[in-house]
Amino acid sequence: MNISIEKTVSELLPSIILGGFLISVEVEESSEELLTLMGNELKALEPVLTPESIREMSTVKANKEAYRALGKDPNRYRPSAESLLRRVANGKGLYHINNVVDILNLISVKTGYSICGYDYNTIKGSVSLGKGKEGEPYEGIGRGELNIENLPVFRDDSGAFGTPTSDSVRTMVTEKTKQFLMIIIGFDDQAKISAALDEASALYGKFAKGVEKERFFIHS
């Protein structure tokens, strides 16, 4: 994997860590077994989640502080994990998209990490994490054109394709996806990120015939 962190981000966020893997998958509707597993996890989470407890989760808190450091209001452009956790706290559960996305969202609410997931074969060339620019074009999944100025933004040779607030239509996971790139943006112990990746990899192996190809950790 050729992934880097630009100076515009590393200078403002010196503790940032990118942890992720490339994994082969078979995308399909989530099985009853996976949906049952998700349902049981959410039943355990829902009673203990409040707006206050979500804000105080170390992973959520770190992500929001990172947004502020970059110049973005995290209450207007929420990191995806916080949005998912607030949805669970309100008794709305998680969206059911497909097995690959559903597993990503499950790991996100269990850990509080805003996790990015992409169809690897739609990415062109090397990948860098930078800072969103004014007027930079970006179509978020289910959100239309998104103002990504000052958000942390993944780019390839074709431009912006991912943020922790919303993944893009260009690199979204579909039934055609065969290679899945998952990236966690963290600001704490690498071992904690690694544990989240271990759990995700095991679930992909069980529910999406996943075979992990490569794992990486990138520091600023």
Burial class (CB in 10 A: 0-12, 13-18, 19+), 69: middle
Q: Which of 109, 117, 100, 107 is nearest to 204 (CA)?
A: 100
CATH of 3-219, one of 3.40.50.970, 3.40.50.880, 3.10.310.70, 3.50.40.10: 3.50.40.10
Tokens matching residue 173 = 């996971």
List per-residue pLDDT tens for the chain, 220 residues long: 799 999 999 999 999 999 999 999 999 999 999 999 999 999 999 999 999 999 999 999 999 999 999 999 999 999 999 999 999 999 999 999 999 999 999 999 999 999 999 999 999 999 999 999 999 999 999 999 999 999 999 999 999 999 999 999 999 999 999 999 999 999 978 999 999 999 999 999 999 999 999 999 999 8
The angle subtended at Cα 207 by Cα 54 and Cα 164, nearest 5°, is 35
Tokens matching residue 108 = 């996100």
Any alpha helices (H) in 47-91, and if so which ranges? 51-56, 58-70, 80-89
| C-alpha distance from residue 59 to each of 38, 114, 122, 161, 188 (Å) | 21, 8, 29, 23, 8
pTM of the complete model: 0.96
- Annotated domain spans of the chain: 3-219
